[in-house]
Amino acid sequence: MEWLMAGICWATFAQTPPPPRCGPPTELDLVVIRLSYEVAAEVSTCGRCGAPLGAGLHVLTQYDGRRRDWRISVATRCHGWRRHRHLAVVRETSNELRLGPLRPCARSWE
Ligand SMILES: [Zn+2]
């Protein structure tokens, strides 16, 4: 019965669009992004050598305060001997986080 109540409550909220956001990403955004990419790195392999990803994960926020949008870069390396660097870009569009894929950097020595 609880799931029925949750559905009814959710339908009430779904009728009104969420308010437009402005400003930098929130702490909750950053936690969700970090956890999402930790899981993605845990189950992914290097696009160059096939070694597991997840050797260190860095989340870099780029927000200058003048524009409404922001961008977050997520970087990690593979566990292979070359430690290939992988990057993903997170953006916000229409009040939704868009998590880009982890891709190997163009330069092979990174
Ligand atoms: Zn690699």
Q: Is residue 3 part of a domain?
A: no
Tokens found for residue 83: 């430690």
pLDDT at 17: 58
For residue 80, give its domain range: 23-104
Q: Is residue 14 part of a domain?
A: no
- Considering its fold, how many domains does the chain have in total? 1
- pLDDT, averaged across the chain: 81
Q: Is residue 93 part of a domain?
A: yes
Q: Is residue 33 part of a domain?
A: yes
**Residue 34 Cα, ligand 1 centroid: separation in angstroms?**
21
**Residue 92 Cα, ligand 1 centroid: separation in angstroms?**
29
Tokens found for residue 31: 């936690």
What does the alpha-carbon distance between residue 58 and residue 72 come to, in Å, rounded to a whole number? 10
Q: What is the mean pLDDT of residues 27-56?
A: 93
Residue linked to tokens 């929130």: 26
pLDDT at 1: 40
What residues have CB less than 8 Å from 100, skipping those under 6 apart?
A: 88, 89, 90, 91
Q: Is residue 17 part of a domain?
A: no
Q: Is residue 34 part of a domain?
A: yes
Q: Is residue 67 part of a domain?
A: yes
**Residue 47 Cα, ligand 1 centroid: separation in angstroms?**
7
Secondary structure percentages of the chain, helix, strand, coil, to 5: 25, 30, 40
